Structure 1
């Protein structure tokens, strides 16, 4: 059996590729576990500055594996324990992405539906191919996408998120860009190149500053104004006291490139 997650490394960028194209990279129990393990490994790797989350095949991710979920109903409890374990494992994995020290960029082709859309919304940034579509479509089969809702409502305006959730309708890449679910749109043949260019731009920055900044960004995001500024000010102080930041500021003033290790 091929690895469910293929990892490719280079120039400070770790590229994690979902590799189950036969079921549109569905988030099966096994896929969630594989992605969890890959993210856990990367969190401790100082050499990784940026993570790209991509997928093989025609789709980015079609959400949970419905065949696997239906099979769980054969259990004595009708699947209750299996479903609880599945959603808990998925929620833990999704929370690892904003908690990861490195920025994470989703590279999206085809469709990103239900938990697949949740995966995109959980990433720090996203690049979508022209023709990509996004949806939280569970309501169409009688299952409101409550867990995908958590990430979605933190990525797009609430009314837009609610419309997607209750209609089950897809939005296209242009609408996703307008709502802030994705950052950039690329021609399908240029999707990987565009994503990797974004990753390379970030990887060229001071890693300690990016890591401090990402943590502060997520910590302050849902706080009141005063508490948000308290967290942000502390992060700025820790950042500015780094020797490499002192060098970066000196280099700017001296009109030269910084000399960072």
Structure 2
């Protein structure tokens, strides 16, 4: 069984029944005194392989890869970018962090700002939050009704299908943490002055809607999962296991593509550099 198979959303997916502390099956032995160090070493090695394959990915100038990271506050979107994609060449990759929309973005359809950031040929793009925010937060706060929510799910399915049909590989990761773990991480930020910059009072305000967000995520995931734009629910109470799972899935996808460098140019053999 691949790691992707372990965390791929199933047809009977229920978020509240999903363990936020589940481990990666088949990972290196974790009975050692410092299991986190083992996870980090494995992830580092996987990240190096991802970086190697990215060179071929860029050179081929064919496929496009879009990685979508969604999750509750403190679930580790920034940490995933650093831990999994920190070794890839930034010349062939971008991370896009979507914040609250600007007035110009509000004046257009909600997918307008998203479409501008999708990957070009040979490019890897990581979305830190994404178009799903325009269903999740809008639904939780009552800014859209159920009918509009259903319409937006349809928009998103069509949008992602169009991307897939025009050469974009899509991997969607929901970083699943427990409410207790979020509480611990927020308290950790408050207790450490060097982490105060990461604390936002809005995180506490949104935490009050925890149950509503869990329902919204479950509905969104079930409504938009597809073979060409699959959802993976990644247990994220453990930061190191989270990174290990995502790195494994990304590498599995890249390896499955059988990437190759473009054919050599025979004329180059005749060129002499003086």
Q: Is TM more than 0.5 here? A: no
With normalisation by structure 2, the TM-score equals 0.32
The two structures have a TM-score, normalised by structure 1, of 0.33
Q: Which has the higher contact order (CA 8 A, sep 6+)?
A: 2
